Amino acid sequence: MRRPLLLDLYCGIGGSAVGYYRAGFDVVGVDIVRQHHYPYTFVHGDAISYLRKTNLRQFDLIHASPPCKQHTIARRVALSRYQSLFDPHPENMVEATRELLAASGRPYVIENVPGAPLIEPVRYCGSSFGLQVRRHRLFETSLPIVAPACDHNSQPHPVGVYGQGGAWTRTQPGGGGTKVAGPDAARALGIDWTTEQAGLSQAVPPAYTEHIGRQLHTRLFGWVQLDLFG
């Protein structure tokens, strides 16, 4: 029996892809930056052009994680790689991507950071899945999904994964924190196929999209997954 096929736009190192694969989808990833650690079929190219030129009916579901400049410093480098596509307003990539996804007629998911201009998104948190990171992310979907509530109390010492430098721990009046890198960062995110810090700093934890993918697989194909919050 054929596994459904998912298109993973702005795919990065494949955090979203691995979650969807675990939920029952085969995956094709597209990114304008070559992703040597991407674990599935990879297409080197810009996502917007791919949406405009490709027959999207071959895909059962489309996921997109467009850069969103005005809502996160961490994505400014990634956004600059796409700037020529939307000059003079590259910050509108969420809206432009949504327009093309809606026109495709395919079910879709758009992921981004808190504050991004998503429509009625649900929020995911690493604390809901026993991860060391919180890494709040928003997901707008064309089909309804539910997300587990944050469980910050289960994370007495959450860690951060960002930037390209090494690890550190800081203590200061009113706060502080711990940043992890390399293998420690990968483990904190639930990632086991790469330790590339630049990619880990932006990756979606696979647990998020596995949870989303199971729900959408059920809605689209009637596959029953009982333990959505386990």
In a domain, 191, yes or no: no
Q: What CATH number did the domain enclosing 20 receive?
A: 3.40.50.150
In a domain, 72, yes or no: yes
Contact yes or no for 94/102 (Cβ under 8 A): no
Q: Is 8 helix (H, G, I), strand (E, B) or coil?
A: strand
Question: Per residue in 72-108, pLDDT tens?
Answer: 544 444 444 444 444 434 458 999 999 999 999 999 9
In a domain, 41, yes or no: yes
In a domain, 164, yes or no: no
Residue 95 belongs to domain spanning: 5-150+202-221
* CA torsion, ordered 110, 29, 208, 103, to nearest 10 deg: 20
The pLDDT of residue 212 = 98
Number of domains, the chain: 1
Please, which pLDDT band fits residue 2 given cuts at 50, 70 and 90?
A: confident
Contact yes or no for 64/108 (Cβ under 8 A): yes
One-letter identity of residue 13: I
Q: Sheet harboring 122-124: ordered strands across?
A: 41-44, 26-31, 5-9, 61-64, 108-112, 137-141, 122-124
Where are the alpha helices (H) located in 54-168, listed in sequence order? 76-80, 83-86, 93-104
Question: Per residue in 98-148, pLDDT tens?
Answer: 999 999 999 999 999 999 999 999 999 999 999 999 999 999 999 999 999
In a domain, 189, yes or no: no
Contact yes or no for 29/45 (Cβ under 8 A): no
In a domain, 91, yes or no: yes
Average pLDDT of the residues in 208-215: 98
24-38, 167-181, 213-227: range with highest mean pLDDT: 24-38
| φ, ψ for residue 41, nearest 5 deg | -60, 130
In a domain, 196, yes or no: no
